[in-house]
Protein backbone atom coordinates (compact mmCIF):
# COMPACT_ATOMS: atom_id res chain seq x y z
CA UNK A 1 0.00 0.00 0.00
CA UNK A 2 1.38 3.43 -0.95
CA UNK A 3 2.19 5.75 1.94
CA UNK A 4 0.32 9.06 1.91
CA UNK A 5 2.57 11.93 2.95
CA UNK A 6 1.40 14.19 5.74
CA UNK A 7 2.29 17.88 5.51
CA UNK A 8 2.70 19.65 8.84
CA UNK A 9 3.82 23.13 7.70
CA UNK A 10 2.61 24.74 4.47
CA UNK A 11 3.95 28.13 3.37
CA UNK A 12 2.70 29.95 0.25
CA UNK A 13 4.77 32.73 -1.35
CA UNK A 14 3.86 34.86 -4.34
CA UNK A 15 1.78 37.77 -5.59
CA UNK A 16 -1.96 38.52 -5.76
CA UNK A 17 -2.66 35.04 -7.12
CA UNK A 18 -1.29 33.52 -3.92
CA UNK A 19 -2.89 36.22 -1.77
CA UNK A 20 -6.25 35.12 -3.16
CA UNK A 21 -7.64 37.95 -5.30
CA UNK A 22 -10.57 37.78 -6.35
CA UNK A 23 -12.03 35.08 -4.13
CA UNK A 24 -13.82 36.87 -1.24
CA UNK A 25 -13.81 35.04 2.09
CA UNK A 26 -17.06 36.65 3.28
CA UNK A 27 -15.45 38.67 6.07
CA UNK A 28 -13.68 41.38 4.08
CA UNK A 29 -10.62 39.46 2.95
CA UNK A 30 -9.69 36.92 0.31
CA UNK A 31 -9.71 33.15 0.46
CA UNK A 32 -7.88 31.96 -2.68
CA UNK A 33 -6.40 28.69 -3.88
CA UNK A 34 -3.67 28.63 -1.21
CA UNK A 35 -6.25 28.83 1.59
CA UNK A 36 -8.37 26.25 -0.20
CA UNK A 37 -5.40 23.91 -0.55
CA UNK A 38 -4.59 24.31 3.14
CA UNK A 39 -8.23 23.53 3.95
CA UNK A 40 -8.07 20.36 1.85
CA UNK A 41 -4.92 19.30 3.68
CA UNK A 42 -6.56 19.99 7.04
CA UNK A 43 -9.64 18.02 6.01
CA UNK A 44 -7.49 15.03 5.02
CA UNK A 45 -5.08 15.22 7.97
CA UNK A 46 -7.08 16.87 10.74
CA UNK A 47 -4.96 20.03 10.81
CA UNK A 48 -2.08 21.90 9.16
CA UNK A 49 0.09 24.87 10.08
CA UNK A 50 -0.30 27.42 7.29
CA UNK A 51 1.27 30.76 6.38
CA UNK A 52 0.56 32.90 3.31
CA UNK A 53 3.16 35.55 2.48
CA UNK A 54 1.71 36.54 -0.91
CA UNK A 55 1.23 40.27 -1.59
CA UNK A 56 -0.43 41.74 -4.67
CA UNK A 57 1.68 43.67 -7.19
CA UNK A 58 4.94 41.85 -6.46
CA UNK A 59 7.23 40.67 -9.25
CA UNK A 60 9.38 37.54 -9.04
CA UNK A 61 12.49 39.44 -7.85
CA UNK A 62 10.51 41.22 -5.14
CA UNK A 63 8.98 37.96 -3.98
CA UNK A 64 12.43 36.38 -3.81
CA UNK A 65 13.91 39.30 -1.89
CA UNK A 66 10.99 39.90 0.49
CA UNK A 67 9.47 36.49 1.10
CA UNK A 68 11.98 33.69 0.52
CA UNK A 69 14.09 34.05 3.66
CA UNK A 70 10.96 34.39 5.82
CA UNK A 71 9.44 31.29 4.24
CA UNK A 72 12.63 29.23 4.56
CA UNK A 73 12.94 30.14 8.25
CA UNK A 74 9.55 28.52 8.86
CA UNK A 75 11.03 25.17 7.71
CA UNK A 76 7.99 24.18 5.60
CA UNK A 77 7.54 20.64 4.41
CA UNK A 78 5.22 21.98 1.69
CA UNK A 79 5.63 25.28 -0.17
CA UNK A 80 4.02 26.85 -3.21
CA UNK A 81 5.99 29.33 -5.32
CA UNK A 82 3.90 31.22 -7.89
CA UNK A 83 5.26 34.32 -9.60
CA UNK A 84 5.48 36.01 -12.97
CA UNK A 85 2.06 37.48 -13.73
CA UNK A 86 3.08 41.02 -12.79
CA UNK A 87 6.38 40.61 -14.64
CA UNK A 88 4.48 39.77 -17.83
CA UNK A 89 3.05 43.29 -17.81
CA UNK A 90 6.31 45.15 -17.22
CA UNK A 91 8.42 46.89 -19.87
CA UNK A 92 11.61 45.04 -18.82
CA UNK A 93 10.14 41.54 -19.16
CA UNK A 94 12.81 38.84 -19.35
CA UNK A 95 11.51 35.26 -19.19
CA UNK A 96 14.86 33.72 -18.23
CA UNK A 97 15.52 36.22 -15.46
CA UNK A 98 12.04 35.72 -14.00
CA UNK A 99 12.36 31.94 -14.15
CA UNK A 100 15.81 32.16 -12.56
CA UNK A 101 14.29 34.00 -9.58
CA UNK A 102 11.53 31.39 -9.34
CA UNK A 103 14.16 28.63 -9.60
CA UNK A 104 16.20 30.17 -6.79
CA UNK A 105 13.13 30.16 -4.54
CA UNK A 106 12.37 26.59 -5.48
CA UNK A 107 15.95 25.46 -4.87
CA UNK A 108 16.26 27.02 -1.42
CA UNK A 109 12.96 25.56 -0.26
CA UNK A 110 13.64 22.11 -1.76
CA UNK A 111 17.06 22.02 -0.10
CA UNK A 112 15.33 22.93 3.16
CA UNK A 113 13.27 19.75 2.92
CA UNK A 114 10.06 21.05 1.38
CA UNK A 115 7.95 19.61 -1.38
CA UNK A 116 7.69 22.66 -3.65
CA UNK A 117 4.90 23.24 -6.15
CA UNK A 118 4.71 25.81 -8.95
CA UNK A 119 2.24 26.20 -11.80
CA UNK A 120 2.39 27.66 -15.29
CA UNK A 121 0.38 30.78 -16.08
CA UNK A 122 -2.66 30.66 -18.37
CA UNK A 123 -2.60 33.20 -21.19
CA UNK A 124 -4.69 36.06 -19.81
CA UNK A 125 -4.73 37.81 -23.19
CA UNK A 126 -7.23 35.26 -24.48
CA UNK A 127 -9.84 37.24 -22.54
CA UNK A 128 -8.75 40.64 -23.83
CA UNK A 129 -9.77 42.51 -27.01
CA UNK A 130 -6.14 43.55 -27.64
CA UNK A 131 -3.52 40.85 -27.05
CA UNK A 132 -0.25 42.53 -27.98
CA UNK A 133 2.90 40.72 -26.86
CA UNK A 134 1.25 38.82 -24.00
CA UNK A 135 0.80 35.46 -25.80
CA UNK A 136 4.50 35.26 -26.76
CA UNK A 137 5.61 36.46 -23.34
CA UNK A 138 3.40 33.95 -21.54
CA UNK A 139 4.57 31.07 -23.75
CA UNK A 140 8.22 32.04 -23.21
CA UNK A 141 7.82 32.30 -19.43
CA UNK A 142 5.95 29.00 -19.18
CA UNK A 143 8.68 27.29 -21.19
CA UNK A 144 11.29 28.60 -18.78
CA UNK A 145 9.19 27.64 -15.74
CA UNK A 146 8.97 24.07 -17.03
CA UNK A 147 12.74 23.96 -17.54
CA UNK A 148 13.68 25.48 -14.20
CA UNK A 149 11.23 23.33 -12.25
CA UNK A 150 12.71 20.18 -13.79
CA UNK A 151 16.19 21.28 -12.68
CA UNK A 152 15.27 22.42 -9.16
CA UNK A 153 13.25 19.34 -8.24
CA UNK A 154 10.01 21.30 -7.78
CA UNK A 155 6.68 19.78 -8.80
CA UNK A 156 5.03 21.60 -11.69
CA UNK A 157 1.30 21.80 -12.34
CA UNK A 158 1.10 22.72 -16.02
CA UNK A 159 -2.13 24.63 -15.54
CA UNK A 160 -1.76 26.51 -18.84
CA UNK A 161 -1.91 23.23 -20.76
CA UNK A 162 -5.53 22.61 -19.73
CA UNK A 163 -8.18 24.38 -21.80
CA UNK A 164 -10.46 24.90 -18.81
CA UNK A 165 -7.90 27.33 -17.38
CA UNK A 166 -8.66 29.75 -20.24
CA UNK A 167 -12.45 29.69 -19.76
CA UNK A 168 -13.57 33.27 -18.97
CA UNK A 169 -15.88 31.88 -16.30
CA UNK A 170 -12.78 30.97 -14.26
CA UNK A 171 -11.68 34.60 -14.11
CA UNK A 172 -12.82 37.74 -12.33
CA UNK A 173 -14.08 40.84 -14.20
CA UNK A 174 -10.55 42.34 -14.23
CA UNK A 175 -9.48 39.37 -16.43
CA UNK A 176 -6.18 39.03 -14.56
CA UNK A 177 -7.25 37.24 -11.38
CA UNK A 178 -9.04 33.98 -10.83
CA UNK A 179 -12.56 34.12 -9.43
CA UNK A 180 -13.92 31.73 -6.79
CA UNK A 181 -14.41 28.96 -9.37
CA UNK A 182 -10.88 29.44 -10.70
CA UNK A 183 -9.32 29.39 -7.24
CA UNK A 184 -11.33 26.31 -6.28
CA UNK A 185 -10.22 24.43 -9.39
CA UNK A 186 -6.59 25.42 -8.92
CA UNK A 187 -6.58 24.23 -5.31
CA UNK A 188 -8.25 21.00 -6.44
CA UNK A 189 -5.58 20.49 -9.11
CA UNK A 190 -2.73 21.10 -6.66
CA UNK A 191 -4.26 18.72 -4.13
CA UNK A 192 -4.63 16.09 -6.85
CA UNK A 193 -0.96 16.38 -7.82
CA UNK A 194 0.01 16.11 -4.15
CA UNK A 195 -2.05 12.90 -3.91
CA UNK A 196 -4.20 14.28 -1.10
CA UNK A 197 -6.59 11.48 -0.09
CA UNK A 198 -10.08 11.68 -1.57
CA UNK A 199 -9.16 14.09 -4.38
CA UNK A 200 -10.02 13.13 -7.97
CA UNK A 201 -9.17 14.68 -11.34
CA UNK A 202 -12.52 16.38 -11.98
CA UNK A 203 -10.78 19.78 -11.70
CA UNK A 204 -9.85 19.45 -15.38
CA UNK A 205 -13.43 18.90 -16.58
CA UNK A 206 -14.70 21.68 -18.90
CA UNK A 207 -17.48 23.97 -17.75
CA UNK A 208 -20.89 23.55 -19.45
CA UNK A 209 -21.15 25.15 -22.92
CA UNK A 210 -22.55 28.65 -23.06
CA UNK A 211 -22.97 31.45 -25.59
CA UNK A 212 -23.14 35.23 -25.37
CA UNK A 213 -24.18 37.93 -27.80
CA UNK A 214 -21.67 40.23 -29.45
CA UNK A 215 -23.35 43.20 -27.75
CA UNK A 216 -22.94 41.61 -24.34
CA UNK A 217 -19.26 40.89 -24.93
CA UNK A 218 -18.68 44.42 -26.21
CA UNK A 219 -20.35 45.90 -23.12
CA UNK A 220 -18.06 43.81 -20.93
CA UNK A 221 -15.01 45.00 -22.86
CA UNK A 222 -16.02 48.65 -22.34
CA UNK A 223 -16.62 48.06 -18.61
CA UNK A 224 -13.27 46.27 -18.30
CA UNK A 225 -11.40 49.10 -20.00
CA UNK A 226 -13.03 51.81 -17.92
CA UNK A 227 -12.94 50.16 -14.51
CA UNK A 228 -9.74 48.11 -14.66
CA UNK A 229 -7.39 49.11 -17.49
CA UNK A 230 -7.54 52.87 -16.98
CA UNK A 231 -6.92 52.70 -13.18
CA UNK A 232 -4.05 50.26 -13.77
CA UNK A 233 -2.45 52.56 -16.34
CA UNK A 234 -2.85 55.52 -13.99
CA UNK A 235 -1.04 53.64 -11.20
CA UNK A 236 1.74 52.65 -13.60
CA UNK A 237 2.19 56.24 -14.77
CA UNK A 238 2.70 57.30 -11.16
CA UNK A 239 5.03 54.39 -10.38
CA UNK A 240 2.58 52.85 -7.95
CA UNK A 241 1.34 49.32 -7.32
CA UNK A 242 -1.87 47.92 -5.88
CA UNK A 243 0.32 46.28 -3.23
CA UNK A 244 2.00 49.45 -1.96
CA UNK A 245 2.01 49.55 1.86
CA UNK A 246 0.37 46.13 2.12
CA UNK A 247 1.75 43.20 4.07
CA UNK A 248 1.08 39.46 4.05
CA UNK A 249 -2.39 38.39 5.16
CA UNK A 250 -1.07 35.40 7.14
CA UNK A 251 2.59 36.15 7.94
CA UNK A 252 3.10 33.41 10.51
CA UNK A 253 2.39 29.69 10.67
CA UNK A 254 -0.92 29.22 12.40
CA UNK A 255 -3.15 26.16 12.76
CA UNK A 256 -5.92 25.87 10.21
CA UNK A 257 -8.96 23.65 10.48
CA UNK A 258 -11.05 22.91 7.41
CA UNK A 259 -14.45 24.66 7.25
CA UNK A 260 -17.50 22.80 6.05
CA UNK A 261 -17.12 23.93 2.43
CA UNK A 262 -15.21 22.96 -0.72
Average pLDDT over residues 215-221: 77
Q: Looking at the predicted structure, is the pLDDT value of residue 181 above 50?
A: yes
Residues 41, 163, 192: CA angle, nearest 5 degrees: 20
CA neighbor of 123 nearest in space, from 82, 169, 174, 176? 176
Q: Looking at the predicted structure, is the pLDDT value of residue 101 above 60?
A: yes
Q: Looking at the predicted structure, is the pLDDT value of residue 235 above 90?
A: no
The pTM (predicted TM-score) of the whole model is: 0.91
**Mean confidence (pLDDT) of the chain:** 91
Please state, in angstroms and rounded to a whole number, the distance separating the CA atoms of residues 208 and 213. Answer: 17
Task: Read off the pLDDT band of 155 (50, 70, 90).
Answer: very high
Domains and CATH numbers, the chain: 9-205+213-256 (3.40.50.1110)
Q: pLDDT > 90: what percent of the chain? A: 74
What are the pLDDT digits (tens) for 107-144?
999 999 999 999 999 998 887 777 789 999 999 999 99
Q: Looking at the predicted structure, is the pLDDT value of residue 221 above 90?
A: no
Query: What is the per-residue pLDDT for 193?
Result: 96
Considering only CA atoms, give the Rg of the chain: 18
Q: How many CB atoms lie within 10 A of CB 80?
A: 30
Q: Which residue has the higher pLDDT, 211 or 43?
A: 43
Amino acid sequence: MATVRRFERYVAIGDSTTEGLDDPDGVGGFRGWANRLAERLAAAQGSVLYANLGVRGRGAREIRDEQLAVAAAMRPDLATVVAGMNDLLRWDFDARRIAADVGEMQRVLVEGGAVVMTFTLPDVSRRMPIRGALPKRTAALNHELREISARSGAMLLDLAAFEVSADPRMWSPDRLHLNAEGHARTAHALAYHLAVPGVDDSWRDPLPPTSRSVASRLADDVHWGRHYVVPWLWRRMRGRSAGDHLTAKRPELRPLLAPNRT
